[in-house]
A and B are shown apart, each in its own frame.
Chain A
Amino acid sequence: MSVPGAWYLVLAAALFTVGALGLLIRRNVLVMFMCIELMLNAANLTFVTFARMLGDIGGQVIVFFVLVVAAAEVVVGLGIVVAIFRRRAETSADDLHVLKG
């Protein structure tokens, strides 16, 4: 038996919501990063699901692009996180509001 496509979509939406809420609520930079990854992967899941349901390989191709971009983004983001750690021994995003206008 196969799982219906709608379930995948619901799962993806749930993952996305968790990611978005986490991003808004948590202060720890690392956790916020993981939330972003969660949202990206929710989007990936949606792409793959639709590719499968509609029989269009394009959706799966896009996932590869997203993975590549996400990897690059993680590299930059973790670089920033390391730089922040060097300056101060905590990872709260709110401590970094010196860039405010």
Chain B
Amino acid sequence: MVHAAYLMAVLPLAGFVVLVAVGRRLGDPLAGWVGTVAVLGSFVVACIALAGLLGEPASARHLSEDYFSWITVGGLQVKVGILLDPLSMTMCMFVTGVSALIHLYSIGYMKGDPEFSKFFIYLNLFVFSMLLLVLANNLLVTFVGWEGVGVCSYWLVSFWHERDSAASAGKKAFIYNRIGDAGFLIALFLIFSKVGSLDVSTVFAHRSALGSGAATAVALLLLLAAAGKSAQIPLFNWLPDAMEGPTPVSALIHAATMVTAGVYLLCRVNSILELSPDAMWVVAIIGGTTAFVAATIATSQQDIKKVLAFSTVSQIGYMMLAVGSGAYIAAIFLMVAHAFYKGLLFLGAGSVIHGLHDEQDLKRMGGLARLLPWTYGTFLVGWLAIAGIPPFSGFWAKSDVLANVYAKSPALWALGVLTAILTAYYMTRLFVLAFRGDERWAAGVGDHRTAPPHESPWVMRLPLVILAVLAFAGGILDLPWVHRTGFASWLAPVFVHDLYQAHEGDGLQVILGVVDAVVALAGASIGYALWRRKVDQPALEPAFLQRVWYWDDFYDAVIGRPGQALARFAATVVDGRIIDGVVNGTASVLRKSASGVRRLQTGYVRNYALGIAVGLAAVIAFFISRVWWS
């Protein structure tokens, strides 16, 4: 059963191939169903593999199988195979599950799009790449998957590439990711030069060969890679722009799966991370800072998807914070819970946007609770979950993270709690602005808004309902009092060390949990009180936060403009003067000298004859003189 796990990745690939071949002919909605069924099959295989893995004793839950040799050059042996252990299994479960739901949702959301089948081609290729990334037992193959999801993200962000903003958002996402990818590549080179292999199990077995210096370097380079993919400081700016893509893409790639790949990578190499406490601190600080900064920005955004995007950045910051604290299990727990509730929130936002005929501005929503009852109900669950209200899944996951962070550093814990208040606040603001209050959508410019908002079709509602159930109940995966038997013990063999509240007694944990709950309720109440009546409150949305801490302006001033100036210099001076000068100069020297020489060719035969005679005379004179003088 377990040995068929490779089918998980093969099925979406098959779906991709089929859709490339006949997708356009299948059309709307059949192409979408083909894509959905491929991913659903993948989910079924994942369930079977999970059952198989659960049947094994804990120590034997590790399957590494090679299928074929990809590269053999000297000492470098790269084999393509899968590594199935509790970590990759957990990832596969929620990646395939959430993907299947979002595929289903997309059938409704993308209905009528002229490029309907192309959308599912990209989606299936994405799922394949993501599973390759997760399942690969060789770091180079992981990198292939890593690049695959990156390029799919690029294609899907700029899916509506006729729009300038979508095209440039795609480029931005791609370039930011490239910076991280460079880090990944250099880390791979370093690992190979020190260990001599890229096979995951071999690398971990011989990780001591790295030494502390190289281990720190590898860990920091992989952190750079993770920062690019998972949108962490300093590379987080691309994610909000990536919201230009269709909403199912935002839900699948930019909330639930791809952006968590960075966290997965760091969890995957946890044994290397553990070699370098310094790098762990850097990871924790970057994660904590990102969580806080992104949460502050999310309080002031007007676009419903941008709020959710910054919220995603912030939540992944939490995961990084957990990883940096050595709490890998908490990070994975939050990742799973986040995939549920953030996927739900994005799909809900998509349903709102769909219902309002492509309106994304929060200030022009309001009062939708009555008109979109299904969306409202499910969004309510997502809101409470991400805000961290007990007993929703977000509460358990977040307090798991924060309890571990407290053991690492109370200062970072305080930052996390502050972020939790902000999280509850901005999500409440979003919720109130979108669903409660006055109906502001009717007051907009009346061109396309003549039709009233409408609820979405069942293919869109069904995923919402399923995800709402999961977002509500996801916490039972790892309730604090079943730590030793549940999720944690299932994942524990993968990690060299789990700082499972090692220093904390039950009393402290309860106190921390109560603090989390109080903080969440406080944030939500503040948000509700402030935004219940008034819609326009510039004091609460300072330009500093709306402009993302001027982060983009900073990059523009420091990198963008000097880069453009350099390019202009290269175009006008280097190319225009120096290179063109050399080429044109050669030509003009030749032309001038030639126009001098051409006068010799007069066309008069006698001149040539005279030339021959003179030449002959000169040659003869030369030889005679040699005879004469010798």
Interface centre among B598, B604, B613 (most CB of A within 10 A): B604
Contact at B613–A97, with CB atoms within 8 Å? no
Does B601 count as interface, using CB distance less than 8 angstroms?
A: yes
Interface centre among A25, A32, A100 (most CB of B within 10 A): A100
Partner of A23, one of B599, B601, B609: B609
Contact at A93–B610, with CB atoms within 8 Å? no
* Min CB–CB distance B17 → chain A (angstroms): 65
* Min CB–CB distance A87 → chain B (angstroms): 15
* Min CB–CB distance B460 → chain A (angstroms): 80
Contact at B613–A100, with CB atoms within 8 Å? no
Does B507 count as interface, using CB distance less than 8 angstroms?
A: no
Residues of A contacting B613 with CB < 8 Å? 20, 24
Does B163 count as interface, using CB distance less than 8 angstroms?
A: no
Chain B residues 584-603 with CB under 8 Å of chain A are 597-603
Partner of B602, one of A24, A25, A27, A100: A100
Does A3 count as interface, using CB distance less than 8 angstroms?
A: no
Contact at B609–A97, with CB atoms within 8 Å? no
Partner of B603, one of A24, A25, A96: A96
Contact at A97–B606, with CB atoms within 8 Å? no
> In the complex, A32 Cα to B598 Cα: how many Å?
25
Does A101 count as interface, using CB distance less than 8 angstroms?
A: yes
Count contacts between A and B, CB distance < 8 Å.
Answer: 34
Contact at B601–A93, with CB atoms within 8 Å? no
* Min CB–CB distance B324 → chain A (angstroms): 79
Does B605 count as interface, using CB distance less than 8 angstroms?
A: yes
Scan B242-271; emit 1 where CB is below 8 A from any A CB, else 0. 000000000000000000000000000000
Contact at B600–A24, with CB atoms within 8 Å? no
Residues of B contacting A25 with CB < 8 Å? 606
Residues of A contacting B604 with CB < 8 Å? 93-94, 97, 100
> In the complex, A96 Cα to B603 Cα: how many Å?
7
Interface centre among A25, A94, A96 (most CB of B within 10 A): A94
Scan A82-98; emit 1 where CB is below 8 A from any B CB, else 0. 00000000000110111
Interface centre among B601, B606, B610 (most CB of A within 10 A): B606
> In the complex, A77 Cα to B200 Cα: how many Å?
85
Contact at A98–B605, with CB atoms within 8 Å? no
Does A54 count as interface, using CB distance less than 8 angstroms?
A: no
Contact at B610–A97, with CB atoms within 8 Å? no
> In the complex, A23 Cα to B610 Cα: how many Å?
9
Identify the closest chain A residue to B597 (Cβ): A101
> In the complex, A97 Cα to B599 Cα: how many Å?
12
Does A1 count as interface, using CB distance less than 8 angstroms?
A: no
Contact at B599–A24, with CB atoms within 8 Å? no
> In the complex, A94 Cα to B600 Cα: how many Å?
15
Q: Ordered nearest first, which 10 A-B pairs have the shortest CB separation?
A: A97-B603, A100-B603, A101-B598, A101-B601, A93-B605, A99-B603, A100-B602, A23-B609, A100-B601, A24-B606
A24-B609, A32-B605 provided; 17 other pairs, C-beta below 8 A? A20-B613, A23-B606, A24-B613, A25-B606, A93-B604, A94-B604, A96-B603, A96-B605, A97-B602, A97-B603, A98-B603, A99-B603, A100-B598, A100-B601, A100-B604, A101-B599, A101-B600
Residue positions of B touching A, CB distance < 8 A:
597-606, 609-610, 613
24 sampled A-B residue pairs with Cβ under 8 A: A20-B609, A23-B606, A23-B609, A24-B606, A24-B609, A24-B610, A24-B613, A27-B606, A32-B605, A93-B604, A93-B605, A93-B606, A94-B606, A96-B603, A97-B602, A97-B604, A98-B603, A99-B603, A100-B601, A100-B602, A101-B597, A101-B599, A101-B600, A101-B601
